[in-house]
Amino acid sequence: MVLHTGWWKSTLRAMSDVMIETVNLHRGYRIGEKTIEVLHGIDLRIDRGERVFLCGPSGAGKTTLLYTLAGLERPEQGAVRIGGVDLYAMSRKQQARFRNLQIGYVFQNFHLLPELTALENVAVPGAIAGRDSTAAACRALERVGLAERGDHLPAELSGGEQQRVAIARAIVNEPKVLFADEPTGNLDSRNSSEIMKILLDLATEHGVTLVVVTHDQQLAKVGDRTLVIRDGSIHPEE
C-alpha cells in the first residue's frame, strides 16, 4: 500500500490533537518612521482542552498575540491553525463565520455595547449566526451567575458583572476555543477566583481549549501550562 505524505501528516495531527498551532508568526506596528516588532517568529502548539496561561510584562504583546490567534489581526508573516484550519487562508466572510462559531473572545476592556442590555449583548453572537439566540443567551447568563441581571445596561453593572457578561457572550455559541484577555484584571480576589473557576469549568466540562492572559502568575498556576512572552518570543514559565 502506498501512503500519501498528506495522509500521514493529517493522521499524526489528529493523533496529537493539536487545537491551536502557529508557525513563525510575525507582527509589528509601524508608527511614522519607526517599526515596533511585537511578535518575532512565534511557534506555538496548544492541545485540545488544554488550559494555557499567558503572562508577560505590559506592552510585551499578549493582546497582540491573542488577537492574532483569534483571527482579529492578520500577521505580517506566518500562519495560525485552529483545529487544523488555516485562519488567514480563508476569505474574510469565511473567517468571520469561523470566528463566530468556533472562537470565543473576552476582550481586555469587555467591549460590551453600551446601549444594549446584558441579555441583548450576550445574544449578539447567536443573532449573527442566524440563530434564535435569546434562550441560549439566558443559559449563558445563568452559567456565569447573572440570570437576575439580564435587563441591566452595562453601565448599571459592576466591573465584575460586566466581565461575566463578556464571558457569557464569548461562550454563547459554545466555541471550541476561548481566549480571555486579563479577565480578572480589575477584580478583587474573590471575584477573580469566581471568574477563573467559570473559565476552568468550561475547559473541564466541555473540553474547551482555553488561553488566558494574566499578570497574576499566582492565578496562572491553576492552568496546565504557563507561557511567558518577552522580547517578541514565547518562553516556558521560569
Ligand X SMILES: Nc1ncnc2c1ncn2[C@@H]1O[C@H](COP(=O)(O)OP(=O)(O)OP(=O)(O)O)[C@@H](O)[C@H]1O
Q: What residues line the site for ligand X (CB under 6 A)?
A: 29, 31, 36, 38, 56, 58-64, 108
Q: Which is nearer to Mg ion, 68 or 133 (CB)?
A: 68
Pairing of strands 85-86, 51-55: unpaired
- Locus of grid cell 485552529: 82
Grid cell 440563530 — which residue? 131
Considering the rule CB under 5 A, would residue 173 count as an interface residue with Mg ion? no
- Cα distances (angstroms) measured from residue 215 to each of 82, 108, 135, 169, 220: 25, 12, 35, 23, 8
Q: How far is the CB of 225 from ligand X (least distance, A)?
A: 18
Q: Does position 22 bind Mg ion by CB under 5 A?
A: no
Range in contact with Mg ion (rule: CB under 5 A) among 28-36, 54-62, 187-195, 204-212: 54-62
- 60: partner contacted, choices ligand X, Mg ion, none (Cβ within 5-8 A by kind): ligand X
Determine the Cα–Cα distance for residues 18 and 201; give it in Å rounded to an integer. 20
Asked if 64 interacts with Mg ion (CB under 5 A), we say: no
- Given ligand X, Mg ion, none, residue 7, with its beta carbon under 5 to 8 Å by kind, binds none
Least distance from ligand X to the Cβ atom of residue 45, Å: 21
Beta bridge partners of 78: none
CA-CA distance, 234 to 236, in Å (whole number)?
Answer: 7
Residues near Mg ion (CB under 5 A) are 62-63
